[in-house]
Amino acid sequence: MSRRSWYAVAAAASVALAACSERDPDSTTGPQFANTDPCGFSNSLVTGYFPSSRHSSILSLKQSMANAGHGTTNARTSGFQIMDSIGSVSRKFAVSPAAGAQLTVAVIGCMFDNASTFTYPTDAVSDFTAALNNVDGGAYYVRGGGTDGVDNPGRSATVLGRVTPPGGADGNLSGIKPFSGSWTNMLPGTGQERRALIYGYPVTLDPLVFEWATVPSALTFSTPAVVSVCDNDASGTAMVHEDAIGVLAYVNTGICEEPSQSVTLIDRGWGPKALAARLSRVLVSVLAPAPLQATAVLTGTAGTGGKTSNIPKSKFGKQLVGTLFLDWQAKPPATINGTAPGTTNPVRVTVSTSSTSGSAIVGACAYLTGSNNNGTPTQITSTATPDPTCINPPAGSQGAIRVQVQSIPGNTAASLADFGRVGVTKTGGIAFTVTVDVLGRDGAGSFFTKSNVKPAK
């Protein structure tokens, strides 16, 4: 692999990873791996992967899983301990990634009631093998499971997929971490059940595309996760792209500059197609953009207009974004009869780009402002709930209506800024201006229309 500069491009995912297209997820249900005794898998799966010094402790954990029973909390507790050791050993010893993958599938079969609550990747062994091949950029880490919102020791760092390029340059390919707080607080559930295996691997290196996934697969992150794809593009037009969502909102992040993590160490989240997911509300940085520093993931449920999740895997890469194109879907009328609250009108704008792929922009902030004929701001009202993460309105427009650009079901080329029902507080001429900010990258767009507000009849 040739030497390269390593910069961060982050994607906004649930995490924000999760609002995705309606196509069938690259997964299938778990019974294909089931057997009559899910917790009675062979000891040879343990001894065939772990060094002899680890056999006794891991076999003891395996027996604890069997004693606890299929799909129980205690079986998952011991199972995650085994997974943690599987990942740690892969980074410390020359072991077989394929053997570790076979053991992972067996452990999952005991941990979860896979017939009803777990979704497996189509080729789980191949995916876990790639994740355990850390020399080629794979990542396999257990995170969460702490108490009082504090991660357990060794389970708090950023998860990094990395290689070691010639010359000693930092070799981070991609990384994922909580946007704020701990992994334990980000993951769903209660108590020590707030834990997961976070795993990933490069799909291609040129162009760089990295795939992230989780165990269990039906995760919905309580707070956003930030995902970075480390690429050396300094064009000023590069954004993070998720294969089923589109171009994602931009924030500065230092994931790709983080040093290699300890060997003892791991979106709003991935979930099954039956669970809707919505884009996370990512905080917009006010810093000038560095080359391909971007942002993040999904969480929660989508609500009206959301897309379902492409679970259990999500691919992140680079997308060049040119000019933004804005168009009225619901335009303020030329004549408005009456002021708010008695008179309001819907205002909605579609957003598209000149990207060759036609990918929609999602997660960016859109602002609606009003001003009179001489440019003095005019207060406007809206039924839309202000988005607290949209903190960069146009200069002098602190009263702007602030919403996040959302996906449009079935539309991969455009997204929507819905400002709700908008009202004006005084009569006379008013200019409505819409600004959509792709968060510091080239391509911010704005346009306006004028209305005449008359007394109510």
Per-residue pLDDT at 237: 63
Tokens 């010359």, located at residue? 167
Residue 279 near residue 407, CB atoms below 8 Å: yes
Contact 345, 421 (CB under 8 A): yes
pLDDT at 31: 36
pLDDT at 212: 85
Specify the 3-state DSSP secondary structure of 101. Answer: helix
Segments in 112-240 forming alpha helices (H): 124-132, 183-186
pLDDT for 140 equals 97
Cα separation, 319 vs 181, whole angstroms: 29
Distance CA 201, CA 215 (A): 15
Max Cα-Cα span within the chain: 87
Residues 360 and 415 sit within 8 Å (Cβ to Cβ): yes
State how far the alpha carbon of 361 is from the alpha carbons of 91, 96, 204, 269, 376, in Å.
Answer: 38, 41, 23, 19, 31
**What is the reported pLDDT for 255?**
79
Name the one residue in this structure whose structure tokens are 């301990």.
81
Which pLDDT score is estimated for 364? 76
Spatial CB neighbours of 214, under 8 Å, sequence gap ≥ 6: 196, 197, 198, 199, 269, 270, 312
Residue 326 has a pLDDT of: 84
Q: What is d(CA 405, CA 415) in angstroms, rounded to the nearest whole number?
A: 6
pLDDT at 32: 43
- Picking from 428, 202, 235, the residue whose alpha carbon sits closest to that of residue 335 is 428
pTM of the model: 0.70
> What's the CATH class of domain 324-454?
mainly beta
CA-closest candidate to residue 343, choices 430, 278, 411, 279: 430
pLDDT at 321: 67
Domain ranges of the chain: 8-22+142-320, 324-454
223-236 burial: b if 16+ Cβ within 10 Å, else e: bbbbbbbbbebeee
pLDDT in tens, the chain (457 residues): 332 332 233 333 323 333 232 223 344 333 344 457 889 999 999 999 999 999 999 999 999 999 999 999 999 999 999 999 999 999 989 999 999 999 999 999 999 876 445 565 567 899 999 999 988 999 999 999 888 888 888 888 999 898 866 544 467 888 888 877 899 988 887 777 889 999 999 998 877 888 888 888 767 777 777 777 777 666 666 666 666 555 565 555 677 777 754 322 223 333 322 222 222 222 222 222 232 333 333 333 222 233 333 334 777 777 666 667 788 999 999 999 999 999 999 999 988 876 545 567 776 788 999 998 888 889 999 999 998 767 778 776 768 999 988 878 777 778 899 999 999 999 999 999 998 876 454 445 677 899 999 998 7
pLDDT of residue 355: 56
Could you give the CA distance from residue 300 to residue 302 in angstroms, rounded to a whole number? 7
Please name which of 16, 266, 295, 315 lies closest in space to residue 160, comparing C-alpha atoms: 266
Query: Looking up tokens 């609002």, which residue turns up?
Result: 19
